Each structure stands twice: as structure tokens, then as C-alpha cells.
Structure 1
Amino acid sequence: MGRRILMLLADEYRPDPRVRKEALALVEDGINVTILSWDRGHHHESRSEKEGLKIECVRTGKVYGLLKLGLNYPRFFLKAFGISRRMDFDSVHAHDLDTLLLGVAITRLKGVPLVYDAHEHYAAMVAGDVPPFFARVFDRLEAWALRYVDLLVTANSKIEEYLLPHLRSPRVNSVVVMNCIDYVDQTPTHRDHDGIIVFYSGSLESTRYVEDIALATLDIEDCTFKVAGDGPLRQRIEQLSKTQDRIIFMGYVPHQELLESMIDIDLVACLMDPSNENNKIGTPNKLFESMVLGVPVLVSEGTLSAEIALEEGCGIAINWSEGDFKEAVETIRDSRMRREMGDNGRRAAREKYNWGIMKKRLVDAYRSLSP
């Protein structure tokens, strides 16, 4: 029988693109993967199988809002721990801090290795949603739990640098697996259209400047803003889209459909408020997806995203202001400049930022992990 991995996910498996890609990469290498996920909205069967992955769902009370999340998390922890006791596996792969402590408990009981997959700088990510005391507690809990980790996987080098000092030994392996997509040799065909189309997909929140872009777009001639995703600003963006023809709200769009729709985009907005540490060191999926598709990106100065985009020549970095945004849009109107940035992004994706490279890193790290 091949190796068996239990993946822990404190959210619904919709699926999250990173979780899916990593799980499928391991399955392709002959590993049996079971994903134990939290069915927060009661949308999924208790057991299912998709693409060769076994998915077990944990149900608590329905979760909507931070209060319900906090009240139901202990139930998720205990139920997931109970389910795991009846399962056989050789290692546990914990996605983000909200499953790391669960992973520590399970692996200490079972005597198997623990893999920690840090998608974000977790404490910094939640800092705007919880009192500072809780953010500090999360940071210290993560540092404490890292001493039990046998393989560290991070979404970029900055997150890795932040977490490495807390591992129990320099001999513990660490690998950076970025949220890249497969590189496609054939250059995507961008269809002609009038004006400039700016696109944003992700969490609809103020730190991503979504509403700011929408309002600024209204003052720019022949400029349309397309928005996909969900979050606190959803209602506001929906309202604007109903009264303004040049703001198009797409709601939730499946990942593959999203990539197909991006072929017609002129500029992908990857702006994040750099005053938040997680934003400063974060690398949004859309940065790498835009590279493969040959679409220029708009990033925030002072972030890792800007560092990558400027180094590769595939985007424009600004400190948010309506004036700087308008200037970026005018720059993108130049088809030669747009094509040059797109070609630079494609080259970077082919040479550095593609899933083939990242998949090999992950698989190699797992092969070196002692069962």
C-alpha cells in the first residue's frame, strides 16, 4: 500500500486552488490523500471522492461571521480530532494556522510526521479583524507549534524567512511552493475590445482598494472595472454595478472560468495596503496567473508583489491614489507597452513561476520526509 496523507483544512473544500493542486501533485506521485475539511455552511456530503481525492467533511453549527466562527471552532477541532483517531495515515499536512494546533495534537497521538503549509502570515492577516491581543496570541501559538513541525511549506520566501527561526532545528526541511499555475506554451489570444478593462478577483475588502478602483474608474474615459469574489464589500460593489454600466460584478466564478475570462483583460489589479504585514509579504494568486496569461499587473509599492513585478518587468507599481491609478491606466492604453509587459510576464512564468517547478519542489520534499 502506498503512503497515506491526511490533509487538514479549516474551511470548505470548494476547492481552494492551492490545496487542490498540492493534493493532486501528491496523488500523481502515488500517495493516497484524504482531505478532512470543515463544512462551515453545510453544503457538502459527509464523504465524497473527487479527482482521486477522498474528502471527509466535519460539520458544526453553521458558520457566518467572526462570532459564529469562534464559537464553532472548538467543536470543529474536537470532531476532527475524533475522526482522525479512526483513520490510518503516514503523515499530516496542516493548511494554515487554523489547523496547525490540530495537526500537532493528531501527530503527537499517532506518532507520524507533521507538515505545516503556511499560505499567509496568519497573525498579520487577521490583525484587522480581531483585537491586537488575539493577533499576538496567534503569533505566539504559531511559533510554539512550529517546534513540532517536520516539514515546512510556505507560499513564498518572505513567509519562510519569518517562520524558519521557530523550527526546532535547522535540519528541519523547508520548501517554498508558490501559488503558480501550469505554464501553457501556446500564447493566449487576446480578443480586441473597446477601451481598457481592469480586473480584480479575490476578497472584497477595503485593504485591496476594490471600492477605490471602482469609483476611480467612473472618472476615466473608456475604462471598465470587472470584479469577481466575495467579502465585506460585496453589497457595495453589487450596488455600484447596478447603477454604473462600466462596473461589472461577476460574483463567485469557478477558477477555470475565471482564468478563461482573464484573457480579455488589459490590467489585473493586485493592490494591497502595504501597512499590513501580511499584504506586504503576500503574493496573490492573480500575480502568477496574470504572468502565464500575458496580462500586466498593477501592484502596490513596498510589497513583495511589486518587487517581483518590477524585477520581471510585467507590471506597474503605485502608492494608491486616484491620480496614480489613472496614470497607470493611461500607460496600459499603449498597446506596445501592454504587449511588452505581457511578454515579460510569460517569460518569467516559463522560467521561474510555474506549477511544474513548484510541484517538483513539493513532491521532492515529501519523498525526503521520513514516515
Structure 2
Amino acid sequence: MGMKRVLILRSNPVEPDPRVEKEARALAEAGYQVRVLGWDRIGRSPRQERKDYGTLERIFIRAHFGKGLANLPALLRFQVALLKFLFQHRSEYDIIHACDLDTVVSAYVAGLLFHKKVVYDIFDFYAEMLRHTPNWIKRAVKHLDIWLMGKVDAVILADEARKEQIRGAKPKRLQIIYNSPDTLWECRESYSSPPLRIVYVGLLQVERGILQMLEVLHTHPEWELDLAGFGGDEERIRQEAEKLPNVRYHGRIPYEETLRLTCTAHVLFATYDPSIPNHRYSSANKLFEAMAFGKPIIVARGTGMDRLVESLGLGYVVEYGNVRELEATLRRIAGWTEEQRRAFAERAKAVFEQHFSWEKMKKRLLALYSEL
């Protein structure tokens, strides 16, 4: 048997998608031949690119992000295009690494037809991502998802807490691979003096506590916020942000820039609304980036991250939507001495190295692959 060939499927254009790129790189370094296939919904990206891990290709089908059922026709066209690609290139891959439900259905069909191994990598639980969808559809999607988890060759979850979310599934193999940054990017930050610098890079959705944070910044002109990312509520958030002189709005940025901003922050926040099921199990990249760079993070109570943050002392837990509590917490962090910042940073980095480093995650990924 020659070199094992992996085809990774993702329903976004992978520019960037840190988790996909980290996994692709880990597999390539271990001697797998890697090819990534993404979905370009806008048509601005190249059809094909050479990357340090192998080839990145994109299917272009016009669609919108976060539009729920209105995207169904586009999603179905994407499935057809995926199946066509999997059929045409069936002699060029041995393992299909499908990210999320919107690629695993086609992957499973191709796996059956062409006797390929299928790894199902769950970044987000799909049934609970459908924001404006009737409940019966969500239930049907969930049943399909749980059923598929028992059929594929291996399942990967992004967080221990999500095991609860997939209750009833019977995967043949299950591995937890956290969203740890694989950064060798040195953060040589001098623990810069005030003003307090707050950083958020991620999905721009109102259910992530961003508007509450802007409200706090409105009353604290001496604090600064760097806001970056994209998402369904981008316009609304941008308009609010641009009213404030102490908020810098960056829009979509490359991953390197995310790390640079994280490095200069005093504090990060990931205050997601816990009434959204996916948020209750969310394991934000931000939490691990904060840890790796020794920064405190503020998260909302009742989300997937509060347990880790509280038990390991990685920052503060606040009640979602409580602007006063958020403000009080920021005030505490703003009052830290340089000594306190340094002590916190050393402890958080040590926790990261010990339990969550990408080196450890990489070993888990490769161990899982070696069993296939």
C-alpha cells in the first residue's frame, strides 16, 4: 500500500479555516497526501491553489451564509457537485474526511459506493445551527446526523462537552480534538499598560454578546475594542461599532492577524447566548488562543466554555446579556497590575501546554487515522 490519500470536505471556502488547515497540515506532515475541497459561495476565490499541506480546490455555487432554509436549493446543488467530484476522482483518495453534516451525507454515499473510509469531523452540530427552521426539520436532521455517526468509520468532536450533545449515537471510533491553535507564532507582548484593550475575532452575530460589549465601550471611552470577523449580523454590528471612536472594526482578517490582535489584548471575550443549543457546547478557538497567549477570557454562564474557564481559572464567567456584570468584570481586569498580568499569563500558558496544546491534538488525530 503506497501513500494514503485524504480528501477533506468543507462547506466554506477555507480562507481561513484554522481547524481544517491544522488538520490538513498534521496529516501532510505525517506522510498523507492531502487534498481539500471547499465551497466558495461568492465566487471571488481561485478554483485551485497550492498550499503547504497539498491542494485546495473550490466548488463555486452562489449562496448566502446563515440564511437557513432559503439556502436549501444551493445546499442541494452543492451536494450534487460534491457527489460528482467524489465520483470523478474516486481513484484519487482513500479516506474522506468530512467536516459537518453538510458534507458527510455525500461522503457516506461515496464511501459506500467506492469502499472508502469516512471520518466525520463535527465542528458544529448542524441541527442546532439552523437558525430559522421549523422544529420537525431540525428533529429529522438530528436523527439523520446521529444515525450517520454510527455508520461512518470514525467521529471527531471538538469538545468533551459535546459527547452529551450526541447522546444516542454509537460511533465505531470517537476522538476529541480541541480547537487549539497550532501557532508557533511567538507572542512577545510587553504587558502593555492601560488603556484596557479588548479583542473579539469571530462570527459577527448578535447572539454573541457583541452589542452588549459595545454598550459598555460607549460608557468607557478610555477602553479600546478591536472587532473582526464576518457573519449574518455583520452590517448591523459594523454600523454600531463605527459610531464609537474607541472601537476599531477590521472586518474579515487573515489568521495571522487574529493572532497578532490576540497577542496585544488585555482580555478576550466569547459571551455566547446559552439559550442557543450549539452555544451550550461551544468550544471557541478563542478560548484556546487566549490560553496559549496567556490572556484572560470572559465567557457566558451556561455555554460549553464556562466549566473550563471556572475550573482552570482562565478568566471570568458572566451572565449573558448582563451589561453591568460585564462592565464590572472588565473593570477588575483593567485594574490588574503588571505583576498580576504576568502571573496569570504564565499559569494559563502552562495549563495550555499540559492539556490542550496542538501537539497533543495532533497525536490524537494521527492515532485515530492509524486505526483506519
TM-score (norm 1): 0.92
Secondary structure in structure 1 of the residue aligned to 2:156 = strand
| C-alpha contact (below 8 Å) 1:119/1:155 kept by paired residues | yes
Alpha-carbon spacing, 1:232–1:260, altered in 2? closer, same or farther (3 Å): same
Deviates more, 1:207-216 or 1:136-145: 136-145
**1:234 counterpart = 2:234:** yes
Q: Would the aligned equivalents of 1:183 and 1:354 in 2 still touch at CA under 8 Å? A: no
**Any idea what the Cα deviations from partners look like across 1:280-318, whole Å, max 9, x if unmatched?**
111100000011111100011122211111121120001
Contact kept, 8 Å, 1:274 with 1:300, in 2: the verdict is yes
1:264 — aligned with what? 264
Cα offset, 1:164, TM superposition:
6.1
Q: Which moved more, 1:280-289 or 1:334-343?
A: 334-343
Q: Assess if the C-alpha contact under 8 Å between 1:331 and 1:337 holds in 2.
A: no
Partners of 2:22 and 2:182 within 8 A in 1: no
Deviation, structure 1 residue 32: 0.7
Match of 1:162 in 2: 165
Residue of structure 2 in register with 1:244 after alignment: 244
What does residue 214 of structure 1 align with?
214
The secondary structure found in structure 1 opposite 2:259 is helix
Instruction: Provide the C-alpha distance between the structure 1 equivalents of 2:10 and 2:183, rounded to a whole number of angstroms.
Output: 27
Distance 1:247 1:326, change over 3 A: same
User: 1:204 and 1:247 mapped to 2: Cα distance?
Assistant: 15
SS of corresponding position for 2:120: strand
Q: Does the Cα contact within 8 Å between 1:195 and 1:223 map onto a contact in 2?
A: yes
**Equivalent position of 1:75 in the other structure:** 77
- Residue in 1 that maps onto 2:10: 9
| Distance of 1:85 and 1:263 partners within structure 2 | 44
In 1, the alpha carbon distance for the partners of 2:273 and 2:140 equals 23
Structure 2 residue aligned with 1:145, among 148, 154, 177? 148
TM superposition score normalised by structure 2: 0.92
Of 339, 342, 346, the residue aligned with 2:342 is 339
Q: Mean alpha-carbon deviation: is it higher for 19-28 or for 5-14?
A: 5-14
Identify the residue that residue 123 of structure 1 maps to in structure 2: 127
234-243 or 180-189, larger mean C-alpha shift: 180-189
| Alignment-derived partner of residue 195 in structure 1 | 195
SS in 1 for 2:367: helix
> For the Cα contact (< 8 Å) 2:158–2:177, is it kept in 1?
yes
Partner of 2:117: 113
User: What is the deviation of 1:191?
Assistant: 5.0
Give the Cα–Cα distance (whole angstroms) in 2 for the partners of residues 192 and 287 of structure 1: 21
Question: Take 1:105 and 1:244, find their aligned partners in 2: how far apart are those partners?
Answer: 51
- Cα deviation for residue 190 of structure 1 reads 2.9
> Which whole-Å CA distance do the structure 2 matches of 1:131 and 1:342 have between them?
45
Which residue of structure 1 aligns with residue 47 of structure 2? Answer: 46
CA shift, 1:68, in A, is 5.4
Task: Report the AA paired with residue 94 of structure 1.
Answer: A
Q: Is contact 2:39-2:58 (8 Å) kept?
A: yes
CA distance, structure 2, for counterparts of residue 313 and residue 49 of structure 1: 41
More off after superposition, 133-142 vs 251-260: 133-142
Deviation (angstroms), 1:58 = 1.6
Q: Please list the CA deviations of residues 200-253 of structure 1 after superposition, one character each: whole Å capped at 9, or x if unmatched.
A: 111111210101110122113521222111123322332233332112211111
**Cα distance 1:130–1:287, how it changes in 2: closer, same or farther (>3 A)?**
same
Separation of aligned partners in 1, 2:345 and 2:306: 15
Shift of 1:56: 2.5
Shift of 1:342: 2.4
Distance in 2 between the 1:231 and 1:182 partners?
Answer: 24
SS at 2:155 equivalent:
strand
Deviations 1:337-370 (A, max 9, x none): 443332221111111111000011001110111x
Helix, strand or coil at the partner of 2:219? coil
**In 1, distance between residues paired with 2:24 and 2:256?**
17
> Do residues 355 (structure 1) and 358 (structure 2) align?
yes
Deviations 1:12-59 (A, max 9, x none): 121310000001100111101111221211123333321132222222
C-alpha distance in 1 between matches for 2:45 and 2:184: 33
